[in-house]
């Protein structure tokens, strides 16, 4: 028992010695200033990025300051805040000089003022980090050179966590105009010790505005400022790691609200908020192997393994498929079409990326047509190209069955009722075959295409052409935009003169073109390619 007691005593002594010697901020005093006053103050910044979601810069600054206070106190530092509330009666928040007085009267080692930035106009993408230090107007150098050193460390740490654009550390007088009208920042002007003012990001850039409403995002910036302090004082960073990211919809690319992410083996869950930022955060993680699990809908989950090293800050952003079933946004032909061009391809556009194999297996056309399929638009556009032209004056049924699935396994909403697992069906009829008349004149000596008559016309006109040899003939009508309107001839014809009538039907008034490609069957180099104009006037 005596030996066991001595061993336990030795172990306890070693543990006490090891942790007692852990570098910390004991003996250091810092003043943290949450910039601006309460959100009823005239000098505050209010932004409403979405109806009902309101951002106040003072509140964002205050939440960052509270988080920073907690982090630094855990390292042993003594923290003084220049304000302990964000609600002041009669806009009676502390003045700028009163804030520096808090630092001076408590003889702190360092002062830090927390802010976020704004362009002052319409901000479509500016989002950088800026740190300002007090400038000696006479020497035009930093009043406290060490402030530049620490500010550089804080700048790098904030950027690492907020993923902002680069800007840097600047002295205040020069930054605000220098010889042409610069000034020292009021909150830094009266300081008797080094300090800085941080503009972590731009609160008038809408995606950032929405993130700044999130308290976890504010805490992430506080971690950055704290690590800048630790690095400056030569204290090793916390060995604990962080995983964060932004969840967006693959369909809309917009951040997702109320989306749950799971972290194993910690058995932690984080659900994104309702402020349209899609932000999530897992912190205080020991180094090791983890799995992030994202819900893809349809009972499927996406597991992303991660290995965290000591002090890691990792970002895992994710595009998640929407939980709504896929539906058809466009089809050719349309349901009920009775004049579909026999030479056209068939196809549909889905609302989201599809599992191509399931769609191909679900597709059918009756009467059966031989052809090939292809995909474009990142597996959203499905095209069926018949091997030969469809038959004239024929009823067809184009179908994609309910077994067609989106890439996340959700079944097709074929009838557009918002519920999955029903087929998409189109019933259509092809155009009538144009009357092709063989004239009783002699066989022409060469290919020719005559001007249509009458021209202008309404609604019928006749097009005449001649073939000196047996040829494959394609005669097509195009509108002024170069879009195919109708194929009149697409077949092999014997040598002769021909005429074909075109019935414009419901086609609108305008300029049209008819184009012939006639190729000698026995001599492919002998051909006619010609285009002529005609005018439809109704």
| Residue range 468-487, pLDDT digits in tens | 999 999 999 999 999 988 88
71 and 193 inside one domain: yes
- By CB atoms closer than 10 A (0-12, 13-18, 19+), residue 429 is middle
26 and 43 inside one domain: yes
Confidence at residue 172, expressed as pLDDT on a 0 to 100 scale: 96
Confidence at residue 364, expressed as pLDDT on a 0 to 100 scale: 97
Tell me how many domains the chain contains.
Answer: 4
Contact criterion met (CB below 8 Å) for 306 and 288: no
Contact criterion met (CB below 8 Å) for 77 and 29: yes
Confidence at residue 170, expressed as pLDDT on a 0 to 100 scale: 97
Question: Does residue 2 have a pLDDT over 60?
Answer: no
Residue 399: which CATH number? 2.60.40.3710
Confidence at residue 197, expressed as pLDDT on a 0 to 100 scale: 98
Confidence at residue 88, expressed as pLDDT on a 0 to 100 scale: 79
Higher-pLDDT residue of 392 and 115 is 115
Residue 254 covered by a domain: yes
**What phi-psi label fits residue 60: left (phi over 0), alpha (psi between -120 and 50 degrees) or beta?**
alpha
443 and 418 inside one domain: no
Kindly report whether the peptide bond that precedes residue 459 is cis, defined as omega within 30 degrees of 0: yes
Residue 16 covered by a domain: no
Question: Does residue 41 have a pLDDT over 90?
Answer: no
Question: Does residue 410 have a pLDDT over 50?
Answer: yes
pLDDT band, very low/low/confident/very high, at 16 (cuts 50, 70, 90): very low
| Residue range 481-529, pLDDT digits in tens | 999 888 899 888 999 999 999 988 888 999 999 999 999 999 999 999 9
276 and 181 inside one domain: no
Beta carbons within 10 angstroms of residue 45's beta carbon: 20
Q: What is the DSSP letter of 400?
A: E
Give mean pLDDT, residues 155-180: 94
Could you say which of 183, 211, 232 is where a domain stops?
Answer: 232
Could you say which of 429, 450, 471 is where a domain stops?
Answer: 429
The rounded mean pLDDT for the chain is: 91
Confidence at residue 438, expressed as pLDDT on a 0 to 100 scale: 80
| Residue range 295-304, pLDDT digits in tens | 876 677 889 9
Residue 2 covered by a domain: no
114 and 185 inside one domain: yes
456 and 415 inside one domain: no
Question: Does residue 3 have a pLDDT over 70?
Answer: no
| Residue range 342-369, pLDDT digits in tens | 878 999 999 988 999 999 999 999 999 9
163 and 271 inside one domain: no
67 and 185 inside one domain: yes
- By CB atoms closer than 10 A (0-12, 13-18, 19+), residue 266 is middle
Q: Which residue segment(s) compose the domain that 281 sits in? A: 241-320
Confidence at residue 155, expressed as pLDDT on a 0 to 100 scale: 98
pLDDT band, very low/low/confident/very high, at 371 (cuts 50, 70, 90): very high
| Residue of 281, 288, 297, 300 lying closest to 211 (CA atoms) | 281
33 and 154 inside one domain: yes
Residue 472: which CATH number? 2.60.40.2550
Q: What is the DSSP letter of 93?
A: P
Could you say which of 429, 459, 480 is where a domain stops?
Answer: 429
274 and 394 inside one domain: no
Confidence at residue 21, expressed as pLDDT on a 0 to 100 scale: 56
| Residue of 44, 66, 191 lying closest to 132 (CA atoms) | 191
Question: Does residue 11 have a pLDDT over 80?
Answer: no
Q: pTM of the prediction?
A: 0.66
DSSP bridge pairs for 487: 476
Residue 168 covered by a domain: yes
Question: Does residue 10 have a pLDDT over 90?
Answer: no
40 and 157 inside one domain: yes
60 and 208 inside one domain: yes
Up-side HSE of residue 527: CA atoms within 13 Å toward CB?
13
| Residue range 186-245, pLDDT digits in tens | 999 999 999 999 999 999 999 999 999 999 999 999 999 999 999 999 999 889 999 999
pLDDT band, very low/low/confident/very high, at 249 (cuts 50, 70, 90): confident
Residue 109 covered by a domain: yes
Residue 278: which CATH number? 2.60.40.1120
Residue 14 covered by a domain: no
Residue 393 covered by a domain: yes
Contact criterion met (CB below 8 Å) for 522 and 470: yes
Question: Does residue 5 have a pLDDT over 60?
Answer: no
d(CA 281, CA 302): 18
- Specify the pairing of strand 527-536 against strand 510-520: antiparallel
pLDDT band, very low/low/confident/very high, at 93 (cuts 50, 70, 90): confident
pLDDT band, very low/low/confident/very high, at 8 (cuts 50, 70, 90): very low
Residue 77 covered by a domain: yes
Give mean pLDDT, residues 83-108: 90
Confidence at residue 437, expressed as pLDDT on a 0 to 100 scale: 82
């Amino acid at each position: 028992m005596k030996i066991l007691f001595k061993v336990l005593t030795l172990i306890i002594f070693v543990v006490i010695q090891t942790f007692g010697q852990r570098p910390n901020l004991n003996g250091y005093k810092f003043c943290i200033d949450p910039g601006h006053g309460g959100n009823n103050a005239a000098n505050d910044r209010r932004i409403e990025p979405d109806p009902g979601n309101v951002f106040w810069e003072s509140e964002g600054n205050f939440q960052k300051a509270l988080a920073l206070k907690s982090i630094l106190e855990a390292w042993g530092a003594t923290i003084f805040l220049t304000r302990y509330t964000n609600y002041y009666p009669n806009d009676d928040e502390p003045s700028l000089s009163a804030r520096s007085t808090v630092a001076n009267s408590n003889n702190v080692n360092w002062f830090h003022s927390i802010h976020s930035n704004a362009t002052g106009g319409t901000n479509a993408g500016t989002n950088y980090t800026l740190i300002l230090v007090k400038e000696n107007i006479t020497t035009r150098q930093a009043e406290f050179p060490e402030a530049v050193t620490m500010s550089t460390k804080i700048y790098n740490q904030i950027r690492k966590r907020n993923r902002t654009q680069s800007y840097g550390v600047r002295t205040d007088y020069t930054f605000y105009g220098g010889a042409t009208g610069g000034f020292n920042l009021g909150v830094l002007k009266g300081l008797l010790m080094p300090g800085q003012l941080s503009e972590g990001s731009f609160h008038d850039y809408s995606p950032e505005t929405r993130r700044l409403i999130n308290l976890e995002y504010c805490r992430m910036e506080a971690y950055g400022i704290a690590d800048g302090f630790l690095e400056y004082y030569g204290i090793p960073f916390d060995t604990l790691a962080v995983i964060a990211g932004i969840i967006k919809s693959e369909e809309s690319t917009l951040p997702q609200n109320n989306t749950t992410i799971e972290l194993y083996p910690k058995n932690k869950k984080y659900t994104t908020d309702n402020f349209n930022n899609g932000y999530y955060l897992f912190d205080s993680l020991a180094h090791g192997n983890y799995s992030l699990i994202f819900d893809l809908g349809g009972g499927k989950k996406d597991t992303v393994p991660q290995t965290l090293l000591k002090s890691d800050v990792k970002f895992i952003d994710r595009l998640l498929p929407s939980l709504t079933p896929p539906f058809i946004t466009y089809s050719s032909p349309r349901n009920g079409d009775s004049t579909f061009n026999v030479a056209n391809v068939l196809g549909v556009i889905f609302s989201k990326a599809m599992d191509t194999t399931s769609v191909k297996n679900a597709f059918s056309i009756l009467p059966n047509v031989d052809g090939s399929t292809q995909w474009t638009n990142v597996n959203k556009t499905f095209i069926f190209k018949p091997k030969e032209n469809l038959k004239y004056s024929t009823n067809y049924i184009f179908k994609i069955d309910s077994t067609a699935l989106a890439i996340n396994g959700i079944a097709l909403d074929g009838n557009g009722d918002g519920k999955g697992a029903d087929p998409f069906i189109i019933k259509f009829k092809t155009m009538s075959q144009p009357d092709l008349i063989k004239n009783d004149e002699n066989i022409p000596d060469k290919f020719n295409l005559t001007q249509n008559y009458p021209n202008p016309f309404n609604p019928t006109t006749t097009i005449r052409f001649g073939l000196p040899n047996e040829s494959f003939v394609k005669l097509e009508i195009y509108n002024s935009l170069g879009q195919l309107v109708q194929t009149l001839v697409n077949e092999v014809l014997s040598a002769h003169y021909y005429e074909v009538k075109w019935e414009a039907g419901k086609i609108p008034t305008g300029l049209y073109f008819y184009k012939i490609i006639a190729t000698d069957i026995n001599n492919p180099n002998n051909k006619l390619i010609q285009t002529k104009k005609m005018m439809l006037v109704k």
